[in-house]
Amino acid sequence: MAEQQLVDQESETHDVGQVWKATLGALEVSLSKANFTTWFKNTRIIQIDDDLATVGVPNTFAQEWLRSKYHEQILAQLREFYPNLRRIDYHVATAHTAPAPDAVLPHGTGPASAPAEATNESGLNPSHTFATFVVGSSNRLAHAAAAAVAKNLGAAQYNPFYIYGGVGLGKTHLLQAIGNEVRRTHPKKTIIYASAERFTTEFIEALQGKKLEAFKKRYRNADLLLIDDIQFLTSKEATQEEFFHTFNTLHQTNRQIVMTSDTRPQMIPQLAPRLSSRFGWGMVADIQSPDLETRQAILRHKCQEKGVVFPSDVLEYVAQRVQSNIRELEGFLNTVAAHCQLYGIEPSLKLVQQLIEQAGADRRNIHLSADVICDTVAEFYSLDRVELLGKRRHKELVHPRQITMYLMRSEMSFSYPKIGKALGGKDHTTVMHGVEKITKELVGNEALQRELSLLKERLYSTA
Ligand code: ADP
Ligand code: MG
């Protein structure tokens, strides 16, 4: 191999290993550290042949990225040594140091599959069930009530059932678990799952398209109505009035309504009192932040689910350090798994400590802002921030823009209108479309999953 790496170029002879080192050195200065490590680790020159350089990269992901984002820079640097060079072939080749990534993840397990929310026709994510919900002291009451609701649909003491709590604590999971359970036990029942925003948008569209009757019929026909994030029901009177009538129709005929929210009914700003009082008629349960023991149980459960094996000291450490919420715990687990797969290494305490430092996982909710998201996305895709927020509809801009929307939604739980505003005045339906597009694409698209998990890594090392 060593002989092959010595390349003759007419008058000059260069050691390609040294050339690559020099090239990397030059690139390193112009890139952020995270970016550099992510894309250039375990790369090398395999061969220089006349006007063609063959660069070895560890995986197809790096291949795509170098080709589409860094090609010009790499070419320019290499031409300092090989002026004849015109083309670069990025070739996936296992680096000498990297063991098979399968040591970490079994086949078919996406490394960063967390945000992928596959849904069935009722809009329910089939993996959000009671069986996959870990019960601890922080969610015991809400869980018990949810199970009772699923068993006794429409029973007066649980109707409506209102679950509230902070971001990423399992409200949506529990809400959908009720839906999935009823779907299993009563396949004929009509179940509707919708976010309050979707309800709002559908209502406005129905108004504009003169399809109000169909809209009313659909919602008022439900046996089980699951409304997620009711705090995002618009403050507009017509929408609230429509929800009021839907609520009354269902409630009067003992059909079940379940809602989630980030706060108690009376605390939702701009919600008409006749609604907030009704929301408290049945059962109100809150979910609190999980304690250490529950966090450990959840981590063990998630590892099992994903088929990932983490040593117990690693699990313990993560549970201790990542405290804020379960989405974050899960996200961190995915980051570790993705990292191990990307670099072909085993999860160790040392690695996890490093990643936690990097990700600032326990600082996320404090420092993250819409600005940080925009800047990080713009830098990641080498775009101008103004372009990213602008109106041009080029493919190269639309994807990053939709990723920005998705991140504001998943990481900050912004409402669609709020995201629209943060992106320089986009319509909330455009935002909803963007978020849904990415959410759908994430299912089964490993490259996109990794792209997002790397973006998040960057996000939390910046924030
Ligand atoms: P919320 O709606 O409260 O913001 P989610 O229901 O979306 O939070 O939960 C965030 C993530 O954490 C989801 O992937 C969910 O499956 C997971 N999760 C939350 N609580 C639990 C739990 N008790 N057991 C297992 N997974 C959970
Ligand atoms: Mg939710």
Nearest ligand to the CA of 140 is 1
Say if ligand 1 is within 6 A of residue 286 CB.
Answer: no
How far is ligand 2, taken at its centre, from the CA of residue 171, in Å? Answer: 5
Contacts for 167 with CB less than 8 Å, ≥ 6 apart: 262, 325, 327, 365, 413
What pLDDT shows up at residue 431? 94
Give all strands of the β-sheet with 87-92 in edge-to-edge order. Answer: 44-49, 52-57, 87-92
Give the three-class secondary structure for 44.
strand
Q: Six-digit token pair at 157?
A: 């003491």
Q: How confident is the model at residue 412 (pLDDT cuts 50, 70, 90)?
A: confident
3 has pLDDT over 70: no
278-283 average pLDDT score: 96
Say if ligand 1 is within 6 A of residue 167 CB.
Answer: yes
How far is ligand 2, taken at its centre, from the CA of residue 172, in Å? Answer: 4
Give the Cα separation of 1 and 405 in Å (integer).
48
Number of other residues whose CB lies within 10 A of the CB of residue 435: 21
Give the Cα separation of 21 and 43 in Å (integer).
10
What pLDDT shows up at residue 4? 42
Say if ligand 1 is within 6 A of residue 170 CB.
Answer: yes
How far is ligand 2, taken at its centre, from the CA of residue 410, in Å? Answer: 9
Q: Which is more confidently placed, 68 or 115?
A: 68
Which DSSP letter does residue 313 get? Answer: H
Which DSSP letter does residue 100 get? Answer: P
**Ligand 1 pocket test target in 124, 134, 138, 169 with most atoms within 8 Å of CB:** 169
pLDDT, one tens digit per residue, over 184-221 is: 999 999 999 999 989 999 999 999 999 999 999 999 99
Task: Provide the β-strand partners of residue 12.
Answer: 9
Give the three-class secondary structure for 104.
coil
The region of weakest confidence among 29-38, 87-96, 161-170 is 29-38
Give the Cα separation of 373 and 379 in Å (integer).
10
Q: How confident is the model at residue 448 (pLDDT cuts 50, 70, 90)?
A: confident
Say if ligand 1 is within 6 A of residue 257 CB.
Answer: no
Give the three-class secondary structure for 144.
helix
**Ligand 1 pocket test target in 287, 288, 327 with most atoms within 8 Å of CB:** 327
Give the Cα separation of 78 and 22 in Å (integer).
9
Q: Among the atoms of ligand 1, which is closest to the Cα of residue 166?
A: 3
How far is ligand 1, taken at its centre, from the CA of residue 298, in Å? Answer: 10
Say if ligand 1 is within 6 A of residue 330 CB.
Answer: yes
Q: Among the atoms of ligand 1, which is closest to the Cα of residue 413?
A: 4
Say if ligand 1 is within 6 A of residue 169 CB.
Answer: yes
pTM: 0.61
CA 332 to chain centroid:
11
What pLDDT shows up at residue 246? 98
| R_g of the chain computed on alpha carbons | 26
Say if ligand 1 is within 6 A of residue 115 CB.
Answer: no
Q: Among the atoms of ligand 1, which is closest to the Cα of residue 173?
A: 6
What pLDDT shows up at residue 5? 40
Say if ligand 1 is within 6 A of residue 164 CB.
Answer: no
151 has pLDDT over 60: yes
314-331 average pLDDT score: 86
Say if ligand 1 is within 6 A of residue 172 CB.
Answer: yes
Q: Which helix (H) or strand (E) holds 286?
A: strand 283-287
Q: Which of 357, 332, 180, 368 is nearest to 258 (CA)?
A: 180
Q: Six-digit token pair at 26?
A: 């030059």
Task: Provide the β-strand partners of residue 287.
Answer: 165
Q: Which is more confidently placed, 12 or 250?
A: 250
Q: Which helix (H) or strand (E) holds 148?
A: helix 140-151
Q: Where are the alpha helices (DSSP H) in 364-422?
A: 364-367, 370-380, 385-389, 395-412, 416-422
Listed ranges 25-29, 368-372, 416-420, 450-454; the one with the highest mean pLDDT? 416-420
Nearest ligand to the CA of 326 is 1
Nearest ligand to the CA of 304 is 1
Say if ligand 1 is within 6 A of residue 344 CB.
Answer: no
Q: Among the atoms of ligand 1, which is closest to the Cα of residue 128?
A: 16
Q: Six-digit token pair at 453?
A: 């998990």
Task: Provide the β-strand partners of residue 57.
Answer: 92
Give the Cα separation of 179 and 358 in Å (integer).
38
What pLDDT shows up at residue 34? 64
**CA distances for 223 relative to 1, 252, 254, angstroms:** 69, 12, 9
What pLDDT shows up at residue 110? 32
What pLDDT shows up at residue 15? 80
Helices 349-359 and 326-343 sit at what angle, rounded to 10 degrees?
120
306 has pLDDT over 90: no
pLDDT, one tens digit per residue, over 360-404 is: 544 544 467 899 999 999 988 888 999 999 988 888 899 999 999
Q: Indicate if the alpha-carbon torsion angle 157, 162, 166, 172 is positive or negative.
A: positive
Q: Which is more confidently placed, 176 or 291?
A: 176
What pLDDT shows up at residue 13? 63
What pLDDT shows up at residue 98? 33
64 has pLDDT over 60: yes
**Ligand 1 pocket test target in 134, 164, 326 with most atoms within 8 Å of CB:** 326
Q: How confident is the model at residue 359 (pLDDT cuts 50, 70, 90)?
A: low
How far is ligand 2, taken at its centre, from the CA of residue 170, in Å? Answer: 7
Say if ligand 1 is within 6 A of residue 139 CB.
Answer: yes
32-54 average pLDDT score: 82
The region of weakest confidence among 75-84, 89-98, 413-422 is 89-98
Nearest ligand to the CA of 126 is 1
